[in-house]
A and B are shown apart, each in its own frame.
Chain A
Amino acid sequence: DGGITQSPKYLFRKEGQNVTLSCEQNLNHDAMYWYRQDPGQGLRLIYYSQIVNDFQKGDIAEGYSVSREKKESFPLTVTSAQKNPTAFYLCASSMAQGEGRTFFGQGTRLTVV
């Protein structure tokens, strides 16, 4: 069953905590992305990676970090420096960065408690 798997589906974070969102794909895609979606707003790009061991900041990278140690995996850490982390986080992938079909996971809803 090919696709993008995000986990967990729901995540609760206390103030001052770092949390990591998982994203795994078995589509053999080189490019992977993290987006944030807030109610009434479009998708905002946090980070993207074109290839293993390389990643670039998107439009709203402050307070987030990523790694790309394996082609299949692109975890996102929401750090305590992110002042308003409550949002819906979406991971996506495509064959190449900004080219062709882009597919999404089912998302992780992060809530600060």
Chain B
Amino acid sequence: QKEVEQDPGPLSVPEGAIVSLNCTYSNSAFQYFMWYRQYSRKGPELLMYTYSSGNKEDGRFTAQVDKSSKYISLFIRDSQPSDSATYLCAMSGYGKLTFGQGTILTVHP
């Protein structure tokens, strides 16, 4: 079993939809949780960073962490074609950083 599991998709939604991206993990030592957005042929861009259970909002993006269930989510409201990218979850703690496989998202006009 992988330490971090992420549904690779692909996920295709119409413009304006609410998108939900999810990751589960098995190691309770993870303390920091991140979401990255990666456009084709570019480096991953840090979108959200949190270290506690609960919700964190930044514009159209909301990161949710449930440590008791070992589950994190990223919600994108009013999705735009420019949100089309690969989204990577990442978790760190005890000196280790682990990534999910990434979910490919396409938002079509």
Contacts and interface: CB of A to CB of B under 8 A. Distances in A.
Given A41-B101, A42-B88, A42-B101, A99 B95 contact: yes
A107 B42 contact: yes
Interface of A: 4, 6, 33, 40-43, 88, 90, 94, 97-107, 109
Chain A binding surface SS class: strand
B45 interface: yes
A107 B49 CA distance: 21
Nearest to A103: B46
Interface of B: 8, 32, 34, 36, 41-46, 49, 88, 90, 92-97, 99-102
A102 B97 contact: yes
A4 B46 CA distance: 13
18 contacts: A33-B97, A43-B44, A90-B43, A90-B44, A97-B95, A98-B97, A99-B92, A99-B93, A101-B34, A101-B46, A102-B34, A102-B46, A102-B90, A103-B46, A104-B46, A106-B43, A107-B42, A107-B43
